[in-house]
Amino acid sequence: MDTAGGHTARPPSRRAGTAGSRRRSHLDWGTVTATSDAPDASAAEPRDAREAPEPRAPRLPIRPELAHEEPYGAPQLDVPVLLNVNENPYPPSEAVVASIAAAVARAAHGLNRYPDREFRALRTALAAYLERESGVTGLDADHLWAANGSNEVMLHLLQAFGGPGRTALSFAPTYSMYPEYARDTHTAWVAGRREDDFTLDPDVAIALIREVRPAVVLLPSPNNPTGTALPLPVVERILDVARTSGPDGAATVVVLDEAYAEFRRAGVPSALSILADHPHLAVTRTMSKAFGMAGARVGYLAAAPALVDALRIVRLPYHLSAVTQAVALAALGHTDELMAQVASLRQERDALAVWLQERGLDAVASDANFILFGRFSDRHAVWRRLLDAGILVREVGPDGWLRVTVGTPEETAAFRAALTQAIEQESVEGRA
């Protein structure tokens, strides 16, 4: 419930899903029974046999807070234009595919053995990439960690630093998976509030951190679903307070979730530039977006070696397969080609934002590969009209807003045509 401080606090639990974003589970954990498709033979049985109670399957001991939950996930619908989950619209080139295929073939010869548990080669390559991309120096394998998508990286962070009696904090609107990580690690979840323009007031944030004393603060920058990046002075003020704001006077681990960092506009710095000064800072990245490797599931972070060592304690043995390591290393070998695609997507994003504004819509200035746009009196109706036209966007974030991923020029043209028609229909219905 909302407290007097204007934020939402609750124990580890699942927030309500947005329309169309969840798939309902068919299981009722309190009344799970065995079923069969066999014909009913009861009519041929003696009456006394029919009256015998049927044996019931044992009730599964699912955790109480999960008993009425549903699997998380955005809709996966078969439509021509998918612009709902912020994927890179460009598949790997033939050159990238060839490199990946060769790397996987080499790895296949050793699949009878467990992979390199510490994946040192990949961590070294990721450190070199981050130094080149952000201009920082001093990163090496000891500063890097990777897992099966940034989701697993985040889970490792809360396994190591969250848990019973501890709290994770973010500021809404924020990434919808954060409460899931908290729930799954028995970490309490608190959501503060951003300003109406989706910026974060550092004074408000610091006051809430001092009040809650969280073990972990999760700050997506660029933010999802708004696309807005946090100014480094705001981050540094939070980091200064976080040195002693955690449980029992320890530090709060501040996580800068930079999943979309490669798409940031010119002049917007990465938090990697201040990493060396803050041993309680973790900067997370992913290969899903800029590298177009969503199907490979590779997320990673940069942090002080002591923080990385804490994650090594909670990871499962050999959690990053030999195939995953091979794919990631091969993709890193094509960084120049893949970053050229990122530059094209930035241009497409900026042009789309201008077009939306010219149509009288609000388009939040974005440093990501998506745009939050609105405002609609009935966003679900607009979402539905777009879907009927074969365009899938995401109904997420504050009421009245929709989020669209930046696609290819052809996909963007289809989106523009469908949205124009949807807006005209909304206008006609509004005058009726």
Contact yes or no for 359/51 (Cβ under 8 A): no
Q: Which secondary structure element, helix H or strand E, spans residue 405, and what is its range? A: strand 401-405
How confident is the model at residue 376, as a pLDDT?
95
- Rounded-to-integer distance, Cα 347 and Cα 352, Å: 9
Instruction: Kindly report, residue by residue over 124-137, the tens digit of the pLDDT.
Output: 999 999 999 999 99
DSSP helix/strand/coil, 402: strand
pLDDT tens, residue by residue, 341-378: 999 999 999 999 999 999 999 999 999 999 999 999 99
406 against 37, higher pLDDT: 406
At residue 432, the pLDDT reads 55
What proportion of the chain, given as a percentage, has pLDDT over 70?
87
Determine the pLDDT at residue 11: 54
Give me the domains of the chain, ranges plus CATH numbers.
81-86+337-431 (3.90.1150.10), 94-333 (3.40.640.10)
pLDDT over 70 at 45, yes or no: no
CA distances from 214 to 163, 200, 249 (A): 11, 17, 11
27-31, 269-273, 311-315: segment of lowest average pLDDT: 27-31
pLDDT at 230 (0 to 100): 98
Give the sign of the dihedral formed by CA 72, CA 164, CA 234, CA 127. negative
Read off the pLDDT of residues 170-201 as tens digits, 9 standing for 90 and up: 999 999 999 999 999 999 999 999 999 999 99
Q: How confident is the prediction for the chain on average, in pLDDT?
A: 91
How many alpha carbons lie under 13 Å from residue 97 in its C-beta half-sphere? Answer: 5
Query: In the numeric block, which tokens belong to residue 265?
Result: 């506009």
Task: State the pLDDT at residue 279.
Answer: 99
Q: Which residues contact 189 (CB under 8 A, 6 or more apart)?
A: 9, 10, 11, 12, 13, 167, 168, 178, 179, 182, 183
* pTM over cut 0.75: yes
Instruction: For residue 132, count CB atoms less than 10 angstroms from its CB and return exposed for 0-12, middle for 13-18, buried for 19 or more.
Output: exposed
CB-based burial of residue 159 (10 Å sphere; 0-12 exposed, 13-18 middle, 19+ buried)?
A: buried
* Residue 13 C-alpha from the chain's centroid: 18
